Amino acid sequence: MEHMMQRAVCLLSGGLDSCVAAYKAKEKQYEIYPLTFQYGQRHAKEINAARTIASTLTPQKHVILELNLKQLGGSALFDDVSSLPHHDLQDIGQEIPSTYVPGRNTIFLSVALAYAETLDAAAVYIGATATDYSGYPDCRPEYFKAFQRLADLATKQGIQGKPITIYTPLLHLTKGEIIQQGLRLQAPLHQTWSCYSGEEKACGTCDACLLRLKGFTEAGVPDPIAYETFPKWYKY
């Protein structure tokens, strides 16, 4: 099967990183097929952000797959908000955080790979970064190398010599660099959502908000979304 444009399945969480990763795929002229998981997150705000971002990327269907990972237990991301991590900025990323969902990237990539195989797509894009979260086993470069090897063996395309490529365009970028890339690509950063809570405004105190605000500080631009409060070091 040959397509006019090559296809790429883009994992979209609704957060900043996956949005920029998908815009990287768009820059490479891929036809984008967005894929989002509803996996038992505490709130729908991220999914709605993913919907909005998807609509800016492509006229293709946005697949939102329900997968209740809560049934497997194991992460603070499924508990109520009170148990969510609030660290000082310098302590984030020093150990495997309680929000770590075991196997999340492996599950997401597996489904993305299956979808890519069905679509006869050439690529899968994931916005993983090895920089801010060195504590996640499944964000390391050697992990993605092993997944690529698996993809080459697991798919019809792979055994026919046209493997599906797993792209991790943000892997070695800092949050500040990701934001700069997003600005350059005119990605809708104002539509992304990172905060662990699902209130109208981002809390400005959870680990996800702190990393995001640090990134905007590094990038030298204000974060376009609204916050309940800001850390003292945030200058805008």
State the residues that interact with a second copy by CB under 8 A.
63, 65-69, 71-74, 96, 101-107, 109-111, 113-115, 117-119, 137-138, 140, 142-143, 146-147, 149-150, 152-156, 158-159
For the record, the structure tokens of 141 come out as: 């470069």
Tell me which residue of 146, 149, 143, 157 sits closest to 9, measured CA to CA. Answer: 157
The phi, psi pair for 229, rounded to 5°, reads -155, 165
Q: Kindly calculate the radius of gyration of the chain based on its CA atoms and give it in whole angstroms.
A: 17
Residue with tokens 């709130």: 43
Closest CB to a second copy among residues 64, 221: 64
CA atoms lying within 13 Å on the CB side of residue 103: 9
Query: Closest separation between CB of residue 64 and a second copy, Å?
Result: 8
Task: Enumerate residues 6+ apart whose C-beta is below 8 A from 65.
Answer: 35, 36, 37, 38, 111
Query: Closest separation between CB of residue 158 and a second copy, Å?
Result: 7
Residue pair 108/125 in contact (Cβ under 8 Å)? The answer is no
CA distances from 217 to 74, 87, 204, 235 (A): 33, 18, 13, 7
Closest CB to a second copy among residues 89, 146: 146
Closest CB to a second copy among residues 3, 149: 149
Query: Closest separation between CB of residue 58 and a second copy, Å?
Result: 16
Query: Closest separation between CB of residue 129 and a second copy, Å?
Result: 16
Residue pair 126/168 in contact (Cβ under 8 Å)? The answer is yes
Closest CB to a second copy among residues 110, 174: 110
Closest CB to a second copy among residues 16, 164: 164
Closest CB to a second copy among residues 129, 180: 129
Going by DSSP bridges, is the β-strand pair 123-125/31-38 parallel, antiparallel, or unpaired? unpaired
Angle at which helices 16-27 and 45-57 cross, to 10° = 10
Tell me which residue of 224, 235, 211, 174 sits closest to 86, measured CA to CA. Answer: 211
Closest CB to a second copy among residues 59, 73: 73
Query: Closest separation between CB of residue 231 and a second copy, Å?
Result: 30
Query: Closest separation between CB of residue 179 and a second copy, Å?
Result: 28
Query: Closest separation between CB of residue 3 and a second copy, Å?
Result: 15
